[in-house]
Structure 1
Amino acid sequence: MTIHKEGYTTIAISLLFIFVLNAIIDYRFADITWLRWLAYILSFALFITVLQFFRNPSRTFTSGNDLVICPADGKVVVIEETNENEYFKDKRLQVSIFMSPVNVHINRNPISGIVKFFKYHPGKYLAAWNPKSSTENERTTVVVAHENGTEVLFRQIAGALARRIVWYVKEGDQVEQAKEFGFIKFGSRVDIFLPVGTKINLELNQVVKGGITVLAELTKPA
């Protein structure tokens, strides 16, 4: 397991904060042993927590030209037909994966293909389970066209804790299934929109892993 590049700055700031805090406590409360040890323990816990936010575990990824792979770690919180009004402007099958603070926060391409559309939306930081978060929170929208013509839309959505979305793709890019397309710091949600009638291989509340769990099976457009 390694540490993701998005964590370098945050980890450095955390280390500086811990060093300064402990130096102050050691200087001001040198004679209060229990307080100093409490500070050491809490500092260690904080550092380990920050490290796990940015972990990048080694994985053997699933691949398949007709498969849609989960773009994120987390729990499936939505499987439903809904209107997608930004790009498709019609009814689609939506699958949403909630990323808690303890999940790996890397986002991966669910399919291979060409990026046909990308847009970043600044916005609010409503809780990720709020239905309005899909349209009102800070978010990105990516549409990738599969070689068979199917277009898949996936959306990074910030939440109450997640205050920075990072992306690595732009329109016209050729992307590869399971490769990184972005990162959401401290968790939140990823939505994916598929053609109605797509075979979904997940169930509500199922725990999934990005780049590994098969989300759906693609069919060639009629």
Structure 2
Amino acid sequence: MDILETIRSVLAPPHKAGYPFIVGGIAVAVIGLLLWHPLAWLGLLFTLFCLYFFRDPERVLPPRPNVFVAPADGLVVSVEPAIPPAELGLGQETRLRVAIFLSVLDVHVNRAPISGLVSRIAYHPGKFLSAADEKASDDNERNSILLSLPTGQEVVVVQIAGLIARRILCDIHEGQALTAGQRIGIIRFGSRTDLYLPEGTLPLVAVGQRMIGGETVIAELSSVIAPAPISI
């Protein structure tokens, strides 16, 4: 990312979830100007932080078919088999899970990893452990989204609250058709996003790699292998 793109990302318009915080910060700054100047500075700093945190930059999908893009910005903290959230009723069979940790400095808007139909959305209350903790996937507050692909395969995206995050916002509904990279919601102030991939996918990321939501290719559907010819 060059300097111009970095500036555009930082100055991107905020997500609608940030409006109440931004307006509140401006109100505090105005009151501080009238009553107590240090309060005005606090209001201004809070407003600037919210403008940065809730930034919602546009993203460009990679021109490749049959790929999964990152559902969030952040750092890959694990790539391993795991059982999907129980509330989705998908059974105990493990699926490849890519977990992405979002710090307060990352863009927190979540995106659809691939085009598909929203089959189910299930909210699960829980704890607020550090989102980088392995237990966060099972113990923390989360919102699980099941996507059905035209191929009949299923993909799971899980929005997970973190140590500071106390609010998960989901902007989609069951039965809605999504396109890859489409915004699906936001998690406030530090979080984690897990992606459970269907069988027959090839992961293309590793632990420690940074993701750009809606742009980084995270995995691809493996090509169907034709049966070997029978010798006569």
Bin for the TM-score computed over the shorter chain: 0.7 to 0.9
- Distance in 1 (alpha carbons) for counterparts of 2:108 and 2:176: 22
Counterpart selection for 1:140 from 125, 143, 146: 143
Q: Could you say what secondary structure the match of 2:80 adopts?
A: strand
Deviations 1:112-166 (A, max 9, x none): 1111221111222111022222122111101111111111111000011111111
| Identity fraction in percent | 37
- In structure 2, relative to structure 1, the CA distance for the partners of 1:64 and 1:169 (3 Å cut) is farther
1:59 CA drift (Å): 2.6
**Is the CA contact 1:2–1:55 (under 8 Å) kept in the aligned structure 2?**
yes
**Is the CA contact 1:167–1:183 (under 8 Å) kept in the aligned structure 2?**
yes
**Is the CA contact 1:116–1:144 (under 8 Å) kept in the aligned structure 2?**
yes
Residue equivalent to 1:154: 157
**Is the CA contact 1:65–1:111 (under 8 Å) kept in the aligned structure 2?**
no
- In structure 2, relative to structure 1, the CA distance for the partners of 1:52 and 1:8 (3 Å cut) is same
Residue equivalent to 1:59: 59
TM-score of the superposed pair, with normalisation by structure 2: 0.83
Deviations 1:181-211 (A, max 9, x none): 1111123000011135521111111111000
Residue equivalent to 2:49: 49
Matched, 1:176 2:187: no
Question: After the TM superposition, which residues 10-25 of structure 1 pair with which residues of structure 2 at under 5 Å, given as runs?
Answer: 10-25=21-36
- Distance in 1 (alpha carbons) for counterparts of 2:66 and 2:56: 26
- Distance in 2 (alpha carbons) for counterparts of 1:191 and 1:17: 36
Q: Could you say what secondary structure the match of 2:132 adopts?
A: coil
Residue equivalent to 1:32: none
Read off the aligned partner of 2:108 and give its amino acid letter.
H
Read off the aligned partner of 1:217 and give its amino acid letter.
E
- Distance in 1 (alpha carbons) for counterparts of 2:15 and 2:186: 9
Q: Could you say what secondary structure the match of 1:135 adopts?
A: helix
- Distance in 1 (alpha carbons) for counterparts of 2:42 and 2:27: 15
**Is the CA contact 2:25–2:43 (under 8 Å) kept in the aligned structure 1?**
no
Residue equivalent to 1:88: 90
Q: CA RMSD in A?
A: 2.1
Matched, 1:4 2:15: yes
Read off the aligned partner of 2:161 and give its amino acid letter.
A
TM-score of the superposed pair, with normalisation by structure 1: 0.87
**Is the CA contact 1:76–1:204 (under 8 Å) kept in the aligned structure 2?**
yes
Residue equivalent to 1:188: 191
Read off the aligned partner of 1:88 and give its amino acid letter.
L
Read off the aligned partner of 1:159 and give its amino acid letter.
G
Residue equivalent to 1:30: none
- Distance in 2 (alpha carbons) for counterparts of 1:158 and 1:189: 7
Read off the aligned partner of 2:17 and give its amino acid letter.
E
- In structure 2, relative to structure 1, the CA distance for the partners of 1:52 and 1:93 (3 Å cut) is same
Deviations 1:20-67 (A, max 9, x none): 3453324xxxxxxxxx5xx65554433221110111123322354410
Q: Could you say what secondary structure the match of 1:46 adopts?
A: helix
- Distance in 2 (alpha carbons) for counterparts of 1:117 and 1:56: 25
Q: Could you say what secondary structure the match of 1:51 adopts?
A: helix
**Is the CA contact 2:30–2:40 (under 8 Å) kept in the aligned structure 1?**
no
- In structure 2, relative to structure 1, the CA distance for the partners of 1:153 and 1:209 (3 Å cut) is same
- Distance in 1 (alpha carbons) for counterparts of 2:200 and 2:221: 10
Query: Which 10-residue stretch deviates more, 15-24 or 199-208?
Result: 15-24
Give 5+ residue unaligned stretches, structure 1. Answer: 27-35
1:18 CA drift (Å): 2.9
Q: Could you say what secondary structure the match of 2:205 adopts?
A: coil
- Distance in 1 (alpha carbons) for counterparts of 2:99 and 2:17: 23
Residue equivalent to 1:31: none
- Distance in 1 (alpha carbons) for counterparts of 2:126 and 2:85: 17
State the number of aligned residues: 211
